Amino acid sequence: MRLFVVSRKKGSVQSMANRDYYEILGVSKNVSDTDLKKAYRKLAMKFHPDRNPDDEGAEAKFKEIKEAYDILSDAQKRAAYDQFGHAGVDPSRGGGAGAGGFAGGGFSDVFGDIFGDIFTGGRAGGGAGGAHRGDDLRYNLDISLEEAVAGTEVKIRVPTYVQCKTCNGSGAKKGSKPSTCSTCAGHGQVRMQQGFFSIQQTCPSCHGKGEIITDACNTCHGQGRVKEHKTLSAKIPAGVDTGDRIRLGGEGEAGENGGPPGDLYININVKEHPIFVRDDANLYCEVPVSFATATLGGELEVPTLNGRVKLKIPGETQTGKMFRIKGKGVKPVRGGGIGDLYCKANIETPVHLNEEQKELLRQFNDSLSGSKHSPQSHSWLGKVKSFFDDMKA
C-alpha cells in the first residue's frame, strides 16, 4: 500500500465572508449532488498543497474549497445557506462550518473523499460483512451452421463455485458462528494515521468482512463455497450467429456472505460449413457447372439447409454468375425476414480426356472463329493491345 503524505505550509486563509460558495466551486445553485462532488474533487486535486509545493496560496484555496463543499454537500446546511447566506451557517449564530474553518474535517477527510473508492476494496456491496455478488462465468460453445439456423438445445458442463451445503455459505462449522474481528471491531475497514493525515483501507485480518471464522467448516474450509461441476441445459434460439451471447441468469459463481450468484454467458461460435458461407441473413455457396451445361443450358440440383432445390442454368452462363434462390437463407435471431441463398456458378474444365475427346475438342475449337463466340476474350485482348500501344507511344 502506498501512503500519500501531505506537507503543510504556513499561509493566511482568505476570509470567505463575501465569497459565494457556489462561485468557489464553479457550479450553479441548482447543481446536483453528483455534479457538486465532481466539481469539488476536481478542484481539490488541482489545489492540493502536495501538488503545489511552491504555491503558498494553494493551502488557503484548498481550505476554501473544502469549506464550500462541507456546506453545500449537507442538505440542511445548504438550505440554510440558500435562504440566509453566510449568516445561516455561521457557527456564532448556530450555523455550520464558519468562515475559514474545516467543520471538524481536514486534509485527511478530503483525501478520503477523493481516494476512498480505491482503498475500500472497490467491490459493490462492500463493507463489514457485506454480501458480494458472485462472479459471472463465460462458456464458449461451438455449434454447426444447421444448429445455429434451426435452433437447438445443448447440455453443457461448467466448473464453478457453489454455496457450501454443509454450512449454508457461512464458512463456520455447524453449531458455531463467526466472531467479530478484533482488528477493525467489525467495521471491515481500518484507518491508518500519519500526523494529521489518514487513509482508510480494507481490514487485513478479516478482508473487509468484519468477522473472523475461528472454527471453520470442514467441507469448504471457511470459504462458504466449494468448487463443483454442474450440468446445465441451454436453449439456443434459431438464427444465432458467431459473436452472439446467451445469458443464463443466476448460473454463475455463488456469491460471498450470502450474496446473489453471478450469471453465465454462453458465447456462440458457428463452425465453418463445408458448403455454405453465412453473411447475416444470407447464405452463399459455389455450384460447379459443367462446360456443356454452361454453354447449352440445363438444370442442376443444389442443396439448401432444408432440402434440395432445382436451379435452372441458362445457356452461355459464364463463371462467377450469381443465382439467387429466394427465402432459402436464415431468419436472424433479432428479427427480420428470411434471407436468400446465392449460388455462384463455377464453370468446370473437363479433365482426364482420352485422345478421341481431345480431338473432338480441337475440332470444336477450330470451328469457333470470330469474336462473337468469345466476347470477353475479344474485349480483353483489345485492352491488352491498347495497353502496349500506349507504352510504345
pLDDT bracket for residue 121 (50, 70, 90): very low
Rounded CA-CA distance 189/116 in Å is: 11
pLDDT digits (tens, 9 = 90+) for 201-260: 888 878 777 888 888 888 888 878 888 888 999 999 999 999 999 999 988 887 776 678
pLDDT at 194 over 70: no
Architecture field, domain 21-119: Orthogonal Bundle (1.10)
Output the CA torsion 216→217→220→223 (10° steps): -40
Rounded CA-CA distance 20/344 in Å is: 75
pLDDT at 271 over 90: yes
pLDDT at 12 over 80: no
Domain at 277-347: CATH code: 2.60.260.20
DSSP character for 172? Answer: B
The domain spans of the chain are 21-119, 137-178+213-270, 277-347, 355-392
- Residue 330, pLDDT score: 95
pLDDT bracket for residue 150 (50, 70, 90): very high
* CA distance readout (Å), 158 to 132, 137, 143: 21, 9, 17
Instruction: Decide the pairing of beta strands 179-180 and 211-212.
Output: antiparallel
Given the C-alpha cell 475479344, which residue does it identify?
A: 378
pLDDT bracket for residue 322 (50, 70, 90): very high
pLDDT at 311 over 50: yes
- Residue 239, pLDDT score: 94
Burial class (CB in 10 A: 0-12, 13-18, 19+), 39: buried
- Residue 225, pLDDT score: 80
DSSP 217-260: -TTTTTSSEEEEEEEEEEEE-TT--TT-EEEETT-SPPPBTTPP
The whole-number average pLDDT for the span 48-70 is 83
pLDDT at 265 over 90: yes
CB 264 within 8 A of CB 232: yes
- Residue 126, pLDDT score: 43
> What SS3 string covers 273-295?
CCCCEEECCEEEEEEEECHHHHH
> What SS3 string covers 59-77?
HHHHHHHHHHHHHHCCHHH
The residue among 372 and 285 whose pLDDT is bigger is 285
Buried b (16+ CB within 10 A) or exposed e, 271-307: eeeeebebeebbbbbebebeeebbeeebebebebbee
pLDDT at 75 over 80: yes
- Residue 382, pLDDT score: 67
pLDDT at 144 over 50: yes
- Residue 388, pLDDT score: 65
Architecture field, domain 137-178+213-270: Sandwich (2.60)
277-347 matches 137-178+213-270 in CATH topology: yes
The whole-number average pLDDT for the span 143-147 is 95
pLDDT bracket for residue 380 (50, 70, 90): low
Q: What are phi and psi of 313, to 5 degrees?
A: -105, 115
Name beta bridge partners: 260: none
Rounded CA-CA distance 255/262 in Å is: 7
- Residue 118, pLDDT score: 37
User: For the chain, what percent of residues have pLDDT higher than 90?
Assistant: 32
Name beta bridge partners: 96: none
